Amino acid sequence: MALKSIDLNSDVGESFGPYTLGLDEEVIPLISSANIACGYHAGDPAVMRRTVSLALKHGVGLGAHPGLPDLVGFGRRAMEVSLEEIKDFVACQIGALQAVAALQGARLRHVKPHGALYNMAVKTPQIWDAVAQVMAGLDDRLILFVLAGADRGELEAIGRRRGIRIGFEFFADRAYNPDGSLVSRKLPGAVIHDHGVVAAKVLKLVNEGKVTAVDGSDIDLRADTICVHGDNPQAVQLVKQIRAALSAAGVAVAAPQPTA
């Protein structure tokens, strides 16, 4: 009998020069996939090296976390960029991190766009496609993390067309609309602060493939990876609680098991 398992991913490596951001030392041992900043929205070459090293030490899968070229805005401000520009940005960021990983004898496992780039892709799936095209050209074993939800068929089609695997991502602390999309952060209740509720949602997702939407209805939501955070002590505490809940339920935390 196969053990159930789920991936936990977190954004890490977002320090820069003299600046420290995130509790990477604490959260990396708790996750199975590390989304490592590549220098455009955060991170620098030394931070990339140290983060790869830390992830490898804990057996955590390495992933590129490419963002828009906007350090002061942390890649959170949407920019009017073409698909060609996005492909160029993403290629250079993945390539740089591939080199950093190669120097430590490792390779990348996944790619998860950051911040505004991720949000732009959710609205404009051609961006997912552009990222997938770059990934396929660099290493077709790479898994693209995308938002699980409304447009699963379209995203799976992108994966098939480009020949790469898609990993669907669940946001444990976010409320969902009945159509599977995230409730806008501008609305009250968009972010769930009760750790027990979040852990219960994770278990329900893993065990039943369902999430309870804001209207109370249960919707189907299959996911391969759960996004957690390590940017403050409370966030790290939540990850520990999620791991404990998973462990108690006999669910392993492990490298991505994407849809075939």
Contact positions vs its own copies (CB under 8 A)? 14, 16-21, 39, 42, 44-46, 48-49, 69-74, 77-81, 84-85, 88-89, 91-100, 102-103, 116, 134, 137-138
Judged by beta carbon, residue 47 or residue 206, the one nearer its own copies is 47
Judged by beta carbon, residue 45 or residue 209, the one nearer its own copies is 45
Judged by beta carbon, residue 23 or residue 223, the one nearer its own copies is 23
Q: Is 74 left (phi over 0), alpha (psi -120 to 50) or beta?
A: left
Q: Which residues make Cβ contacts (< 8 Å) with residue 151, sequence separation at least 6?
A: 125
CB of 36 to its own copies, least distance (A): 12
Contact 235, 229 (CB under 8 A): yes
CA 52 to chain CA centroid, Å, is 16
Residue 195 to residue 100: CA distance in whole angstroms: 35
CB of 27 to its own copies, least distance (A): 17
Judged by beta carbon, residue 78 or residue 192, the one nearer its own copies is 78
CB of 84 to its own copies, least distance (A): 7
CB of 48 to its own copies, least distance (A): 7
Q: Is 220 left (phi over 0), alpha (psi -120 to 50) or beta?
A: beta
- Look at the alpha carbons of 250, 255, 257, 258 in this order and tell me if their dihedral is positive or negative: positive
Q: Is 212 helix (H, G, I), strand (E, B) or coil?
A: strand
CB of 101 to its own copies, least distance (A): 9
Task: Copy the structure tokens of residue 220.
Answer: 């189907």
Judged by beta carbon, residue 89 or residue 170, the one nearer its own copies is 89
Count of beta carbons in the 10 Å neighbourhood of residue 185: 10
CB of 24 to its own copies, least distance (A): 14
Question: Degrees (nearest 5) of the Cα angle 88, 89, 93?
Answer: 115
Judged by beta carbon, residue 127 or residue 148, the one nearer its own copies is 127
Residue 133 to residue 112: CA distance in whole angstroms: 14
Residue 39 to residue 14: CA distance in whole angstroms: 8
CB of 231 to its own copies, least distance (A): 9
Residue 70 to residue 39: CA distance in whole angstroms: 10
Judged by beta carbon, residue 29 or residue 73, the one nearer its own copies is 73
